[in-house]
Amino acid sequence: MPPATDAVLLDVRHLTRIFGHGAREVRAVDDVSFTLRRGEIASVVGESGSGKSTLARVLLRLIRPTAGRIVFAGQDVTRLSRPGELRAYWRQVQAVFQDPFSSFNQFFPVRRVLERSLRLEGRLEAGERDRRVRWALERVALNPSEVMGKFAHELSGGERQRIMIARALVVRPKLLIADEPTTMVDASSRATILNLLLDLRDEYGMAILFITHDVSLASYVSDTLLVMHQGKVVEQGEAGRVTAHPQHPYTRQLFADAFSLSKGRSVAT
């Protein structure tokens, strides 16, 4: 029997999302197909406006696809619409977004933010809730006793983002979709978050879709890369291969730009 990590978790076929119509039509996601295995980190890279966040929102079923199919763990989730069905899906597929300021409810202490996420699992007894909240905070390198009673304004941006990740982890999802999770945090939180993603893959076999415009971050964390350009996946494959031998002109440009930027940076310092 093949190891469980080889099993396909997410199978995306011809996924399309169009906004507007007529002359103002935007094909934000245009005929995208890929698979993600259990325990795999795939990065979606591409410039601003290439459709990365729209892809994330469609996969999370926060918005409907215009066409195509999403199969998660063998179940077709393309047309889920009843709240109960969506909640069952979100117990397995969780997300972290770029801005930890807007997604953090400022009126709740950290403990309550995480406990609300745990509600997706139905009723849990108080002791179990406490254990799960502490476990998730420890996973993101925070001291539960220190942060559980704090409010958003009492935390740094990097701490807030790690709490957003803990909020996603507390339900132990099979898939984590992280949309530019490190863009608004400082370098030390960025390193903590990236290494955490690798640990989650290695320890729990979590699959991760990591969305970034930064190809060097993508190459650092990913098993596979998906390069998006104007709504389409123009290149996909094993991260080392795509980085060393990009096939599509757009991918070559993306890596060339990243390289000249990093060269510029090293000259400047």
Ligand X SMILES: Nc1ncnc2c1ncn2[C@@H]1O[C@H](COP(=O)(O)OP(=O)(O)OP(=O)(O)O)[C@@H](O)[C@H]1O
Strand partners, 96: 178
Instruction: Quote the CA–CA distance of 247 and 35 in Å, as a whole number.
Output: 20
| 213, 224, 227, 235: which one binds ligand X (CB under 6 A) | 213
| Minimum distance, C-beta of residue 160 to ligand X, in the bound complex (Å) | 19
Q: How far is the CB of 46 from ligand X (least distance, A)?
A: 6
Q: At what angle do helices 126-139 and 157-169 cross, to 10 degrees?
A: 130
Contact window for ligand X (CB under 6 A) among 50-58, 64-72, 155-163, 187-195: 50-58
Integer-rounded Cα Rg, in Å, for the chain is: 19
**Least distance in Å: CB of 53 to Mg ion?**
3
What minimum distance in Å lies between the beta carbon of 9 and ligand X? 22
- Check binding of 50 to ligand X (CB under 6 A): yes
Nearest-angstrom CA–CA distance, 197 and 165: 10
- The minimum distance between CB 93 and Mg ion, in angstroms, equals 18
- Contacts with Mg ion by CB under 5 A lie at 52-53
- Does the protein bind ligand X through residue 28 (CB under 6 A)? yes
d(CA 103, CA 117): 13
Question: Binding of ligand X at residue 52 (CB under 6 A)?
Answer: yes
For residues 49 and 157, which CB has a smaller minimum distance to Mg ion in the complex?
A: 49
Determine, following the binding rule CB under 6 A, whether residue 26 of this chain makes contact with ligand X: yes
The Cα 258–Cα 269 span in angstroms is 17
Determine, following the binding rule CB under 6 A, whether residue 212 of this chain makes contact with ligand X: no
Q: Counting Cβ atoms within 10 Å, is residue 201 exposed (0-12), middle (13-18) or buried (19+)?
A: buried
Structure tokens given for 177: 């979709």
Which CB, 148 or 218, lies closer to ligand X? 218
Rounded to whole angstroms, the Cα distance separating 213 from 217 reads 9
CA 188 to chain centre: 19
Size of the site for ligand X (CB under 6 A): 13
19 binds ligand X (CB under 6 A): yes
Find the shortest distance in angstroms from Cβ 67 to ligand X: 16
Taking CB within 5 to 8 Å according to partner kind, which of Mg ion, ligand X, none is near residue 8?
none
The entry of ligand X, Mg ion, none that residue 194 binds, CB within 5 to 8 Å by partner kind: none
Q: Tokens for 25? A: 């039509």
Distance CA 167, CA 171 (A): 8
Give how far Cα 58 sits from Cα of 30, 62, 109, 268, Å: 12, 6, 30, 41
**Closest residue to Mg ion: CB criterion:** 53
Nearer to ligand X, 19 or 259 (CB): 19
Positions touching ligand X (CB under 6 A) are 19-20, 26, 28, 46, 48-54, 213
